[in-house]
Amino acid sequence: MLLLLPTRMCKTLFMTDSYDYIIIGAGSAGCVLAHRLSEDSTCKVALIEAGGEPDARLAPVPGAASWMQNTRADWAFTTTPQRELFDRRIPYPRGRVIGGTSVLNYMAYVRGNAGDYDAWAQMGNTGWSYSDVLPYFRKAETNADFADEWHGDTGPLGVETNQHRHPTCNLFLEAAQSKGLSFNPDFNGARQEGCGYFQATTRNGRRSSTAEAYLDPVRHRPNLTILKNTQLLRIVVEKSRAIGVEVLAEGRRLQTLRSEREIVLSAGSIGSPHIMMLSGLGPADHLSDHCIKIVCDLPAVGQNLEDHLGNGPVIANVSDPDAVFGQVPDRFGSALTEFEQTGGGILATHYLDVGAFYSVDAGTEYPQCQVFMLPGVWEPSRVDGMPDRSKIILSGWPTRSKSRGTLTLGSSNPLDPPLIDPNYLSDPDDLRISVEMVKFHTELLNSLAFASIRAGKALPAFNCDAEVADHVRRNATTIWHPTSTCKMGLDEGAVVGPDLSVNGIDGLSICDASIMPTMVSGNPNAAIIMIAEKGADLIQQRN
């Protein structure tokens, strides 16, 4: 394929120094890989990132996540019209920044459950059972609250329970226990079911992104080169071996970098399949439609897109906002200054402090549902720039969605976004579970536990299941958890094997959320970091 770019973008074309490892994407996985692969001082490592550095003021602040969306740090994708959601296009934030989406996310540290990983192993992915991956979860973290067989205390990643959670969290726990959910002190411990407090990827109350945790401590290594504001155009393959990459640096300078050992694609569930297809690695018919030369026919690239779909909020209006929330800073700037000066205030929490895992069907081995409680003062709820002190919100999603979507090319131009179609609610069971969840969340907010602060009944009020289903379709949105677009396995639907090497191509591996055979039951960031820790070991062993 001949890449046609504006003349101002193509001033020079030259071969730079070669590297042993080239890592594509400095996100949740890429920063981990750069840290681990550069531990060998004899290896030269290049880390390529399309974005720049995180905002030095906003990035550390737990409550400021929404302020970094739709900025230079965000790819700011949108989905295709979703048929089951009244053809709505859903905003799809993805990190375009050193640290990736771990800089933009809401920091919930949830590993999933043992059944998620044991299922991966049962599919033929040897080495990926829960007992296999648990050591890598422990290796990654320094946990401020737990010291036991499930947690680590020497890893780069800060993990802790928020000490600034709102008092209304206790009301949620009271309500959940009144409905039969037992208190669970640790969702990442012996069991996942129950209600309790979520841990976050924070350290001493400040965000612990993979940029902060893994990359910042090793930036000084002479064998590590970080290429920021550098767009990956394609992977160069010769005789079925990946030998280098073409990049666009600073939006104008075309370069080719050579890999002596391995190229590791860690651009995420959106970026990795997009780059694969631009490089001629993907479904042959689809590549031909875009006049891209077929290097290797890999039909599963971009298929099997899974995502968690939030099923729409249920709200309890509060009768006395002053009593429930007190006086808070009117403007974000004032709240930011308060956090910087005191470490407290409404920005000192990631807001996802309390919630539960539960099932709506009897006899399930692992929970079907995840729910968070959000106080009205969380940043996305501002009204005309002012904090919203009017409500309490419950929102959740089925933990194991059955709907499957696709990631396809919008064009053959690497600078054009891909087409993201999660195909939400295409499996009717996802809607059935979501309807039951919304009904249960309504029961929770209408319970006696919230009576002292609630004004009237929870809203919306529903008369039948059809009205609940309509609410889901009109209000459901992504929870930012795309996975499985370059899935791992031994079957024809796999893109990589259990060692993360790309099928049919030497010198190329994928190490990010896209390789998950199925999504995990919870927020995926912890699992992505684990995958990168294990992936680094696999890459070093074979090289």
Measured CA to CA in angstroms, residue 435 lies from 84, 423, 424, 450 at distances of 14, 18, 14, 22
CA separation for the pair 168, 190 (Å, rounded): 26
Q: Are strands 406-408 and 391-398 parallel, antiparallel or unpaired?
A: unpaired
DSSP three-state, residue 121 = helix
User: Residue 204 is encoded by which pair of tokens?
Assistant: 């001493």
Confidence of residue 17 (pLDDT cuts 50, 70, 90): confident
- Per-residue pLDDT at 23: 98
Segment 39-50 shows an average pLDDT of 98
Domain segments of the chain as ranges: 7-542
Round the average pLDDT of the chain to a whole number and report it.
95
For the chain, percent helix, then strand, then coil, each to nearest 5? 30, 25, 45
Residues in the chain: 543
Q: 499: exposed, middle or buried (C-beta count within 10 Å: 0-12, 13-18, 19+)?
A: middle
What is the per-residue pLDDT for 6? 37
5 pLDDT above the threshold of 90? no
Whether 471 and 465 have beta carbons less than 8 Å apart is answered as no
Mean pLDDT of 434-443: 98
Quickly tell me which residue has 């700011």 as its tokens.
76
Q: Give the DSSP letter string of 423-489.
A: -TT-SHHHHHHHHHHHHHHHHHHTSGGGTTTB-SS-BS--SSHHHHHHHHHHH-EE-S--B-TT-BS
User: Quick one: pLDDT at residue 3?
Assistant: 45
Share of the chain above pLDDT 70, in %: 97
Instruction: Report yes or no: 176 and 165 within 8 Å, Cβ to Cβ.
Output: no
Residue 471's pLDDT band (cuts 50, 70, 90): very high
Residues known to be catalytic: 481
Secondary structure letter of residue 52 according to DSSP: B
Report pLDDT digits (tens) over 408-420: 999 999 999 999 9
* pLDDT at residue 497 is higher than 50: yes
Cα–Cα distance for residue pair 124/117, rounded to 1 Å: 11
Q: 357 CB contacts (<8 Å, ≥6 apart)?
A: 184, 187, 192, 193, 194, 367, 369, 370, 399, 521, 522
pLDDT for 383 equals: 86
Q: How far apart are CA 82 and CA 423, in angstroms?
A: 6
Torsion angle, alpha carbons of 458, 436, 303, 26, to 10 = 40
pTM (2 d.p.): 0.96
Q: Which of 70-79, 382-391, 422-431, 437-446 has the lowest mean pLDDT?
A: 382-391
CA geometry: angle 99, 101, 102, nearest 5 deg: 60
> b/e string for 49-59 if b means 16 or more Cβ within 10 A?
bbbebbbeebb
Q: Contact, 105 vs 98, CB < 8 A?
A: no
| CA–CA dist 48, 22 (Å, integer) | 8
> E strands, 49-198, where?
77-78, 91-92, 108-109, 141-143, 157-161, 194-197
The helix or strand, by DSSP H or E, that contains position 14, with its residue range, turns out to be strand 13-15
pLDDT digits (tens, 9 = 90+) for 45-62: 999 999 999 999 999 999
| Model pLDDT, residue 16 | 62
Check whether 12 has a pLDDT greater than 90.
no
In whole angstroms, what is the distance from residue 230 CA to residue 255 CA?
10
Partners of 346 in the beta sheet?
A: none
CATH number of 7-542: 3.50.50.60
Mean pLDDT over residues 144-170, rounded? 96
Nearest CA to 491 out of 114, 123, 25, 194 is that of 123
As a whole number of angstroms, the distance between CA 417 and CA 422 comes to 15
Structure confidence by residue, pLDDT tens digits, 212-265 = 999 999 999 999 999 999 999 999 999 999 999 999 998 788 999 999 999 999
Q: What are phi and psi of 164, to 5 degrees?
A: -115, 25
Residues 297, 505: Cα–Cα separation, whole Å = 11
Q: What is the pLDDT of residues 474-492, one digit of tens each?
A: 999 999 999 999 999 999 8
Residue 48 parent element (H or E): strand 45-48
In sequence order, the 6+-apart residues with CB closer than 8 A to the CB of 464 are none
CA distances from residue 492 to 272, 299, 331, 437, 486 in whole angstroms, order as listed:
19, 8, 54, 35, 12
177 vs 443: CA distance, rounded Å? 12
- pLDDT, residue 504, reads 97
Q: Is 60 exceeded by the pLDDT of residue 366?
A: yes
pLDDT at 4: 41
Structure confidence by residue, pLDDT tens digits, 167-211:
999 999 999 999 999 999 999 999 999 999 999 999 999 999 999
